[in-house]
Amino acid sequence: MRFLGVDIGSRHIKLALVVDGALVGYTGGENSFDPLARCRELMADLPADRVMATGYGRQLLELADDVLTVTEIKAFARGAAHHFPGCRTVLDIGGQDTKVISLDETGRVRKFEMNDRCAAGTGKFIEVMAASLGWSLDEFAARAAAAADEVKLSSMCAVFAESEVVSLVARGVPREAIAAAVLRSVADRVTALAARLPLTEEIVFAGGCARNSTLAAMIEKNLGRRLLIREHAEFTGAVGAAFLARDEALRAGAELTSQTGEGVTV
C-alpha cells in the first residue's frame, strides 16, 4: 500500500511517499496563489492509497478532498522519530512557525512550545532580512558563515529589524556581519523557546532552516548540545504524515499488500 504525506506550508508544499513500511521518495514545490490546485498538481505525480495532510494549509485538503489531517507538531515528531529512532527533542524552524517538541520514549508528543504570532525567530524573519541584504537564502547562509565579526541586532521584530539592517548597511557595516547577526537573533530566540522544555542529549533539527549550517552551529553552541540533522530535513513533516497515514491504516486493520515504489523521483 502507498501512503502519501503532504505538508502544506506557507511557502512550500512537500510530499513524501511511503510504500509498505519504507520511505521511497520525496517531491515538492513552491506554494502558489492557489494552494489547493498546486497540491493536487503535485499529488498527481505520486498516486497513493491513503493520504495524510499536515501544515499550515492542511484544512484545505481536509475540506476539499476529505483527507485526514494532523498538526505539524505530531507530524514532525513522527518524522523525526522515523529518521532518528529514540530521539526525544525536535526543533523545527519553519516559514511561519518555530516549534520545539518533546517526545516520550515511545515517540509520542509529550509537550511542545511554539513561537507567538510574530515572525521573530522564524524562517520568515531570515527571508525578509536576506531580501533586504539583496541575497538569496542560500547565498545569505553562505555569506553569514564567512563573517569575521558579528554586530548585534537590537530588534527582534521583523519590521524594525529590517530598517535596522538597512541602516547598518548605510553605516558601512559588512553585510556578512549583518547576516550573521540575523542568524544569531534567530538562534537566541529558538534557544529561549527550547529552554522551556526538558532537553535531552540528542536534539533533532528539522524543517527548512536546518539546511543553514551557520544557524545550526549557533544553536548547538547556545544549547551546548549536538544537533542531529538529516539531508532533506525540510521533508520531516511530510515523512511523518506519510507514516501516520500508515499507522492509521494499520490501526484500522488494512492489509498492507506489497507493491513497488516505481515512478518515484527523489
Partner 1 sequence: MSSNDYTPLWQELGLDLDNHAGLLGVLSDAYRGIYLAQANRPRGMAYFDFVISEVHGLRIKEIYEAKRAGRKVVGGFCVYVPEEVVLAADGICIGLCAGAEVGTAEAERFIPRNSCALIKAFMGFKLAGLCPYVELTDLIVGETTCDGKKKAYEIFDELTGKVHVMELPHMKGPAGKRLWLGEVARFRETMEKLTGAPLTLEGLRHGVAVVNAKRRALQRLSRLREADPAPLSGLDALLVNQVSFYDDPVRFTAKTNELCDELEERVAAGVGVTAKGAPRLLVSGSPMAIPNWKVHAIVEGSGGVVVGEESCIGERNFRDLADEDFVTVEEGLMKIAERSLTIDCACFTPNDERPGNIAALCERLRADGIIHYALQFCTPYLVEAYKVETSLAGVPFLRIETDYSMEDFGQLKTRLEAFIEMLR
Instruction: Enumerate binding residues for partner 1 (CB under 8 A).
Output: 56, 70-74, 96-97, 108-112, 114, 116-117
Least separation in angstroms between residue 99's CB and partner 1 is 9
Least separation in angstroms between residue 74's CB and partner 1 is 5
Closest to partner 1 by CB, 60 vs 141, is 60
Q: Which residue in 178, 184, 181, 219 sits closest to 92, CA to CA?
A: 219
Burial (0-12, 13-18, 19+ Cβ within 10 Å), 19? buried
Closest to partner 1 by CB, 74 vs 83, is 74
With beta carbons less than 8 A apart as the criterion, state whether 228 and 87 touch.
Answer: yes
Closest to partner 1 by CB, 99 vs 184, is 99
Least separation in angstroms between residue 104's CB and partner 1 is 10
Closest to partner 1 by CB, 72 vs 176, is 72
With beta carbons less than 8 A apart as the criterion, state whether 82 and 23 touch.
Answer: yes
Least separation in angstroms between residue 109's CB and partner 1 is 5
C-alpha torsion sign, points 246, 250, 252, 254: positive
Least separation in angstroms between residue 227's CB and partner 1 is 22
Q: What is the DSSP string of 205-259?
A: EESGGGG-HHHHHHHHHHHTSPEE--TTGGGHHHHHHHHHHHHHHHHTT------
| Bridge partners for 140 per DSSP | none
Residue 132 CB: number of other CB atoms within 10 A? 17
Distances (CA, A) of 169 to 146, 147, 175: 17, 14, 7
Closest to partner 1 by CB, 111 vs 226, is 111
Least separation in angstroms between residue 135's CB and partner 1 is 28
Least separation in angstroms between residue 262's CB and partner 1 is 33
Closest to partner 1 by CB, 216 vs 245, is 245
Backbone phi, psi, residue 21, to 5°: -105, 5
CA distance 182 to 164: 11
Closest to partner 1 by CB, 123 vs 216, is 123
With beta carbons less than 8 A apart as the criterion, state whether 242 and 18 touch.
Answer: yes
